[in-house]
Amino acid sequence: MNNPLLESFDIAPFSKIKSDHFLSAIKNGISLAKEEINQIVTNPEQPNFSNTIEAMDYSGELLDRVTSVFFNLNSAETNEEIQKIAQEVSPLLAEFSNDISLNNDLFKRIEAVYLQKDEIDLDPEQHTLLRKRYKSFSRNGANLPEDKKEILRNIDKELSKLGLKFGENVLAETNKFEMLLTEESDLDGLPDGAKEAAKEIAKAKGKEGWMITLDYPSYIPFITYAKNRELRKKLSLAFGSKGFHNDDLDNQEIVLKIANLRHQRAALLGYSSHAHYILEERMAESPDKVFAFLNNILEKAKPAAQREFKQLASFAKDLDGIENLQKWDGAYYSEKLKQKLFDLDDEKLKPYFKLENVIDGVFKIATKLFDLHFEETNDVDKYHKEVKTYNVTDANGNFIALFYADFHPRPGKRNGAWMTSYKSQMRKNDTNVRPHVSIVCNFTKPTPSKPSLLTFNEVTTLFHEFGHALHGMLANTTYPGLSGTSVFWDFVELPSQVMENWCYEKEALELFAKHYETGEVIPMELVNKIKESATFMEGMATMRQLSFGLLDMSWHGQDPSSIENVKDHERKVFKETSLYPDVSENCMSTAFSHIFQGGYSAGYYSYKWAEVLDADAFEYFKDNGIFNKEVATKFKENVLAKGGTENPMTLYKRFRGQEPKPEALLKRAGLLT
């Protein structure tokens, strides 16, 4: 069988790939990578940086390319066949990873180079790579006796399977729920665009009426605007109970197994908890620092959140006689209160945020800041017809990156938004190999009468993911292992979160916020209202984020073996941060994909951590002009281009001239009293 994944390719050959190509390609990739590692191990020369550390970082290129295509499809365009293959290949990849990290002869060569680090002439990037490589081995069992290495292998295999199963269950739960409405009165309050979209969903499924699903573009408008409180409750309970039905899609046992296996793994490696293990390689450094950081912000946010909740509850009671404000009331009455206070709602804003215009806007901002140019191309192979592709060049016409963008929900795509990569940037054989970067979102679809009009939240999401993409596209490092977003996890959100700030600035909005029918630029009155409302309910939003960070740390910052019931554990953790009454049918952990499927275990705090960095960084832009070329160039050269080549605080201070000040975040959020 001709396998396009085993032929030399620059751009992923999606149209030629069949699902059954993946297993053989991944197995081949593992074999080839093993051969490359064996050549390093058996090299008769004395170990040095070039023949050991550098050679390792360039090894496994075919495997990296194939697995990036496979796992990206498993997230953005999956099916039962791909999911089945994922369950088969994940243990193989975990075993291969262990074969490398537990290879004693390989570790001896790495250690030999590491012990010479002060005598050999290395630049900062090489020093970082050497340290990272040595630490990855010592932190992953290289010093363990053989019997414990075998235990580690089995734990890693099991964890890879459990993470996949967790995600499959969440996706299946999301796709399973359908709320078909046949009475138009049940849609009272919904904007016309949301009604039309609901009708289209029903029609696509061969049903009469209006269908609401758990996909964000369907769920969010209904929970925000629908007058029918019982239907909001039904939808909210379905959304909040994913993986919590004691059926074959239940994730409770999986959560307990993952948490306990991670703890066992950390203990095996000599750490007090999974969080101690993870945070050793983060800016935060330790669980104590994370708890101190979260609790410090909680102390500032809690009084504001309690005031806001009281105001919201009082407003709901006065408006509709609601005695007990519930979770399914929050978005609805927040939107009503925002309209009353600011005369602003998403329906007034959406006509100014046609998807194509927002894409054009984010490109124009990247041009003004970083001299990048984006040209759509239809010559690139795609995994779905909805995917858009762009050639990215610099001011001199040099090729910088290939950029993929996939914007709308589909049954085979998981919820949320993310950035990913199909090909890493690196310097190899005197060539600067440029990256292929992708963002995947789930935005409002166009309807027969309207184009895709984004909510303001969707606009900030697009800017956020594009910030990650810039980190990948502008990478300019030597080694793939330090390129782009290969940075400390609590630094990776800085480029994404700082980009969101431009969405609130008049000078930026005027570039793209134009009425989709008239072409009129967004009125200054609306721009002012966007800025005024930016801190609306910020105390409650901050408390919500902090509660997720504390829940994450509760699973990973201690021995979880005494936790018997997932829901009871959550109740205890949320005691300090909960504002709404508890809903017995709901459970956060069973669908908390960030920490049980994604890479955010013991790392969810990093969103807030990065907010401190981004607020401080954007203050620097604002002080000098949001399109100031000098500041933008410093950000590009010291943050975006550098990847993980040096300690992130060193890079940040080189850009900013100082360490970040938390006051910038508290000031922006309106939480400074």
Please compute Rg for the chain using Cα positions: 25
Task: Write the burial class of residue 247 (CB in 10 Å: 0-12 exposed, 13-18 middle, 19+ buried).
Answer: exposed
Residue with the two structure tokens 């620059």: 10
Residues facing residue 432 across a β-bridge: 427
Looking at 102-123, list the stretches that DSSP marks H as alpha helix, in order from N- to C-terminal side: 104-114
H or E element, residue 418: strand 418-423
**Hey, what are 671's tokens?**
């939480």
- The sign of the dihedral angle between the CA atoms of 468, 471, 474, 476 is negative
> Burial of 355 by CB count in 10 Å (0-12 exposed, 13-18 middle, 19+ buried)?
buried
Q: 597-621 burial, b for 16+ CB within 10 Å, e for fewer?
A: bbebbbbbbbbbbbbbbbbbbbbbb
Residue type, 66: V
The residues that are catalytic are 465
Residue 8: what residue type? S
Residue type, 349: L
C-alpha to C-alpha distance for 588 and 577, rounded to whole angstroms: 14
d(CA 636, CA 641): 6
Locate tokens 């050991």: which residue? 52
Residues contacting residue 132 through CB under 8 Å, at least 6 positions apart:
481, 482, 644
**DSSP codes, 290-341:** HHHHHHHHHHHHHHHHHHHHHHHHHHHHHHH--SS--HHHHHHHHHHHHHHH
For residues 571 and 145, the answer to whether their CB atoms sit within 8 Å is no
What is the DSSP pairing of strand 388-393 with strand 399-406?
antiparallel
What is the distance in angstroms between the CA of the first residue and the CA of the last residue of the chain?
A: 68
How far apart, in Å, are the Cα atoms of 489 and each of 517, 600, 606? 42, 8, 7
- Longest C-alpha distance within the chain, in Å? 81
Q: Are 497 and 611 in contact (CB under 8 A)?
A: yes
- To the nearest 5 percent, what fractions of the chain are helix, strand and coil? 60, 5, 35
